């Protein structure tokens, strides 16, 4: 019998939107997945040889890129940050919409913008450096894993690069968005080798692709 397929999903906010799509594609986790007291990280799926693993968003890409999981769902922010050669993102799931933007303290926006070097706090060092390089600015990135919005006020960095959705977090922390780096949505990702060698992976890609088209047409 073939090894079960492993499907990696992020723990947090994408999951609520992803689960109904996964169900329509026939990937339905066993009941224990929804039990908050259950500390298991790997779950069987109802009526299929797929198991679901629940990991941090950045780790979804790592598991899939290394072939430890064959498929996953993750934001395009994560796909672009890592640019793993073995990871392929064939389907835009049209969920988890937000943007990756540069922000700075409100008053600072009026200050002269021409600088050759900046300190920027972000969870996305590669995308941040690339964005500023494109403007001829060398960005020294202070890597944070959350609460980026605190960095300018406490002198850790003059700007941040972070995800923005409603803009509420920036506003409540006295920051304004000055430029947009990337429009983000969640993607179905697959390991390239698994896609070539395992028909179950190709079938799931087709199923997700079809149901996104169906949703858009509805
Ligand atoms: N307002 C938002 N803020 C942050 N992420 C958002 C937002 N809207 C959509 N996203 C997407 O959600 C992803 C984060 O996913 P999720 O919260 O499920 O992961 P996580 O594993 O909890 O993250 P973390 O590792 O940061 O704890 C981002 O990579 C992004 O693609
Ligand atoms: O524009 P908004 O709608 O306010 O959303 C943006 C906020 O959401 C994300 O954080 P999240 O809530 O995922 O927590 P985190 O800091 O732990 O990543 C992101 O890092 C921003 O802080």
pLDDT of res. 79: 98
pLDDT, tens digit (0-9, with 9 covering 90-100), for 136-191: 999 999 999 999 999 999 999 999 999 999 999 999 999 999 999 999 999 999 99
With a 6 Å cutoff on the Cβ, whether 9 touches ligand 1 is no
Mean of the per-residue pLDDT values for the chain?
95
With a 6 Å cutoff on the Cβ, whether 39 touches ligand 2 is no
Ligand 1 atom nearest the C-alpha of 164 is 1
Say what percent of the chain tops pLDDT 90.
91
pLDDT, tens digit (0-9, with 9 covering 90-100), for 26-43: 999 999 999 999 999 999
pLDDT of res. 115: 84
Number of C-beta neighbours around residue 37 at 10 A: 5
With a 6 Å cutoff on the Cβ, whether 196 touches ligand 1 is no
201, two tokens? 């992976």
pLDDT of res. 109: 58
- Domains in the chain (CATH in brackets) are 5-96+185-217 (3.40.190.10), 98-183 (3.40.190.10)
* CA dihedral sign, ordered 45, 51, 53, 59: negative
Answer yes or no: are the C-beta atoms of 179 and 113 closer than 8 Å. Answer: no
pLDDT, tens digit (0-9, with 9 covering 90-100), for 185-198: 999 999 999 999 99
Helix (H, G, I), strand (E, B) or coil at 13: helix
Q: Is the pLDDT of residue 112 over 60?
A: no
Better-predicted residue by pLDDT, 118 or 111: 118
Q: Would you list the DSSP string of 181-200?
A: EEEE-EEEEEEHHHHHH-HH
Render the burial of 179-197: b for 16+ CB within 10 Å, e for the rest: eebbebbbbbbbbbebbee
Q: Is the pLDDT of residue 98 over 90?
A: yes
Say what percent of the chain tops pLDDT 70.
97
User: CA–CA distance from 166 to each of 36, 97, 169 (Å)?
Assistant: 27, 10, 8
With a 6 Å cutoff on the Cβ, whether 72 touches ligand 1 is no
pLDDT of res. 113: 59
- Which of 211, 207, 189 lies closest to 6, judged by CA? 189
Q: Is the pLDDT of residue 121 over 80?
A: yes
What does the alpha-carbon distance between residue 24 and residue 19 come to, in Å, rounded to a whole number? 9
Q: Is the pLDDT of residue 12 over 90?
A: no
- Which of 27, 32, 33 lies closest to 6, judged by CA? 27
Mutate to test the pocket of ligand 1, among 8, 53, 57 (most ligand atoms within 8 A of CB): 57
């Amino acid at each position: 019998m073939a090894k079960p397929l492993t499907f990696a999903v992020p723990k947090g906010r994408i999951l609520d939107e992803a689960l109904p799509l996964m169900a329509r594609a026939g990937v339905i986790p066993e009941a224990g997945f929804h039990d908050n007291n259950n500390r298991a990280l790997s779950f069987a799926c109802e009526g299929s040889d797929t198991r679901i693993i629940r990991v941090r968003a950045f780790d979804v890409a790592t598991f899939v890129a290394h072939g430890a999981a064959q498929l996953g769902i993750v934001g395009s922010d994560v796909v672009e940050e890592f640019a793993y050669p073995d990871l392929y993102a064939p389907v835009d799931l049209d969920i988890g919409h937000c943007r990756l933007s540069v922000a700075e303290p409100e008053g600072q926006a009026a200050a002269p913008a021409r600088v050759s070097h900046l300190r920027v706090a972000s969870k996305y060092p590669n995308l941040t450096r690339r964005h500023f390089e494109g403007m001829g600015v060398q960005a020294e990135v202070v890597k944070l894993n959350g609460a980026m919005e605190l960095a300018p006020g406490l002198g850790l960095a003059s700007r941040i690069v972070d995800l923005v959705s409603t803009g509420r977090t920036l506003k409540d922390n006295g920051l304004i968005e000055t430029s947009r780096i990337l429009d983000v949505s969640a993607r179905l990702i697959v390991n390239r080798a698994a896609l070539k060698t395992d028909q179950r992976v190709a079938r799931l890609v087709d199923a997700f692709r079809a149901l996104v088209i169906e949703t858009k047409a509805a």
